[in-house]
Every structure is written in structure tokens, then in C-alpha cells.
Structure 1
Amino acid sequence: MKKFYFTLLSLISFTCFAQQTNNIADLEFLYQAIKKTPSYKSQLKSDENYALLYQELKENLSDTVELAVYKKLYQLIAPIKDNHFGFYKIADTTIKPRPTVLNLDIDSLKQVLKQKPINDLEGLYESDKHEFAVFKAAKNEYSILYLKSKIVTGFIIETPHQSLDFISLLNGNRGFVLARNTKHVNGNFISINLYKTAKPAFNNLVIGKSNFEFKKLTEKVDYLRLSSFYSSN
């Protein structure tokens, strides 16, 4: 039984279609849920291409692999500019892990990616002393590969509105999580802990209820933090 979840934080509501019995039912449920959102009504209500996308997905949804189904359903979310959309599958620890392992020549891949400019999405990254490769795998889609095991741990996807979405693969493809509007700045994906350059030494501040904090760093330098959402629509 699939356990896909679609959340609409902007509406403070929660929708689950875990008990749908087939892919078409899941697609229909998601489509109808999206059509009720303010974002859909303001951006895509009269868009014939979006309706056509739904029909095309409906006719090509025979996959039996959950990751493939998840990525196809995600295509209904990608065109909508709304950071509050969430779409995930809870990791099912009762099933056997089925990680995506790529039989690649790692040395050759590293040689190619070393040549990529700092601001290119493709390249070699580090995360807590582990080495990852990000490379283009399909149109508008990049795979994140853990080089030591050759396991794909996620995807970076270019959306139609010039932002980046991140799909994380959990526990050997037993769960999936979508993070919208992921930032790539100076060669780094800070929000998902992937760095081409040295990881910044962030100044640790005490977490509290206040939306601001003042701190004196040196005799001549003061630090003021103003809290807000890390990104906007």
C-alpha cells in the first residue's frame, strides 16, 4: 500500500491518499486537491497546458516502482510557484531497501565534474566529509550520487518558474521528501548541506522565541539577527 502525502501549509490543511488502490486514483486525488488551492486558482486555473499535463500523466502511469510513480505525480506540483506545498512518502521500514545504485566509472565522472564552474549545478560536493557528485541525468533533472556507495540519494529539479526543487530519497528508496525552492549560492546548496567550497562557519546564536537578537562580536563589530522565512514565494 502506498503512503503518499500532500500537504498544503498555506491552507493549514492535510491530505493523505495512502489508501488509494492504484496510480490513477492517486493522480486524480492529487489533481483535485491542487485545484482547490489559491496558488492553482491564481496561476494555472486557465492554463490549458496544465490540464494537458494531467491528461498525459493519466495515460502514462503504469509504473509499479513507487519512486517512478512519485516523480510522475510530482510533475503536477512542479509548475506551481508555492513554497508551502509538501509532498512526501513516509519511509516504510517493513519493506526491503531498494536503493538506486549506478554502475558508473567514478574516477571518470570526477574528472569531468572537476572542470565545472563554481556556479554550475553540476560538480563535486562535500557533506560532513562525505563526497557527492551532482550531474545532469535528464532534462531539468540532476542526480545526487554518494560516491563511496554509488547510491543516488536525491534529485535536484529545475522548475518552470526558474527555481530548484529537491527530492530526498530516504532509507534505500523507502521514503521520499520534497523540499521546494532550494537555493544554490556560490556553488553551495546550504539548505541540504552540500558544498563545493569550504562550509561556512556560521555564528551560532541561542534559539529562542524572539524574532531578533543582538550580539557584540568585537569591540567595533555588532551583529543583529532578524528572523523570517528563509525564502519567499
Structure 2
Amino acid sequence: MYKCIIIDDEQHAIDGLKKYIDSVPELTLIQSYTDPLKALKSITEGEAVDLILMDVDMPKITGIELSKAIRSKTDKLIFTTAHTKYAYDAFEADADAFLLKPYTLGKFVITINKLFPGEKQGDAVMEKEDFFFVKSKEESPKIIKIKYKDVIAVESKLNYVMIHTATKNILTYMSLTEMAKILNNNDDFIQLHRSFIVRKDHMESIDGNTIKMINGVQITVGDHYRKEFTDFINVRLIKAGKKN
């Protein structure tokens, strides 16, 4: 469990970020501050934490200035701001990530997964969570838990992606590129078209360059992805031995 702190002078921004944190099982919020000077005193006197999420444009002291004073008290630092002009300053302040407001739950989860991809404990590697959350555009409740093993395919839909599972399809506001970042570290998935990422063990049949998934979705392998697809098939295709 990763301990985190929020610093933002706007309470509604803190409330929204709390909901995002509650959606990530690995994160636990231990404190939030609307007054950056109170945050400075409390954090410098307290124990180190795993993550601080901090606004940049705040009264009394900016997030950039504050970060320099408390950077040693956190393993990871994320700046959250509505202003792109602070991106370079955030880099100079040794921030690990920069979230531009308003950002989606998907972008938040992607950032967290990149910063905490899986930690070692002794000689054993801790297993990653076998599920993730997305914010559904159409369903209620809005935040949906999806197990990686249930994902059949992820399909690009302009500014959204459709996540196909065995039981339902979930439309969420996220690009396929963003979704790929979540799945990149998972060997069970492969991108075979600019509009599709599929789970390998949910392929039902292959006819030339056309793949049929177990839910009936058919995908034609794009030229850019054909070599990776061919390599994948060659490794798993059982062939008869040559006759002498």
C-alpha cells in the first residue's frame, strides 16, 4: 500500500482526486492540505511518504517552491495543474509526472501504473493487481472494475475506447495509445491494428491476416503489425515434423 498526500488550494480539486485515489487499491490517502504553508510544516516534520500530488499555482508559496523543500520526503512527486506553462518548471523540480487539469481517471491510473509498476520485496517480486478500473461513459455505476483476463479486445472509437469483455462492452474516454501504456507490461496482449489491441488467449481462429476473437469480433492485421503477429504465430503453431 502506497501512502500519499494531496496539496491543492481548491477543495473541489482535492475531492475529485480523492475519488480517483479510492479507485486505485494500491493507494491510501493519509492527508490533504488546502494551505501549502501548513503542508510544508507538517510534511517536513513528519515521516516520508510514497507519493505527493501537488497543485502548482497556489497562494503564499507555489507548488514549485514547495516541492523543493519537501522533495526528500516523498518517493514520487506528481504536479497537477491547469497550466501547461509550468511543465518545464515541474521537470526542473524533479517531478515524476505532470497531470494537466482536467484529467480523466484513465490518465490518472496510467500515471500511477507507470510510477508504481510492481515492487520487489526481498528476492520475491510482488504480483501486480489482476484488474483495473475505468470510468464508463454509459453505465451506472460509472466506475467499472475489469479483470485483465476478461478483456477480449480494446477498440479505438475516436476519443474513446470500447473495452470488449465476455459479458459486456465498456465505452470509456481514453485513447488507444493511453490504453496501450496500461497493457504494455502485460505479455497477454498484443496490438495488431491501429484500432485494436487484443488478448492473445481469446483468439478463436485465424484466416490469413484476419483474426476472429471468441466474441465474434474480426480484426485484419495491419501492415505495421504483421511481423510481430507472424512471430507470435510461428512460436505457437504446432507443425508436423519433416519426413526423411
TM-score by length of 2: 0.31
Q: Larger relative CO (CA 8 A, sep 6+): 1 or 2?
A: 1
More strand as a share of residues: 2
Larger radius of gyration: 2
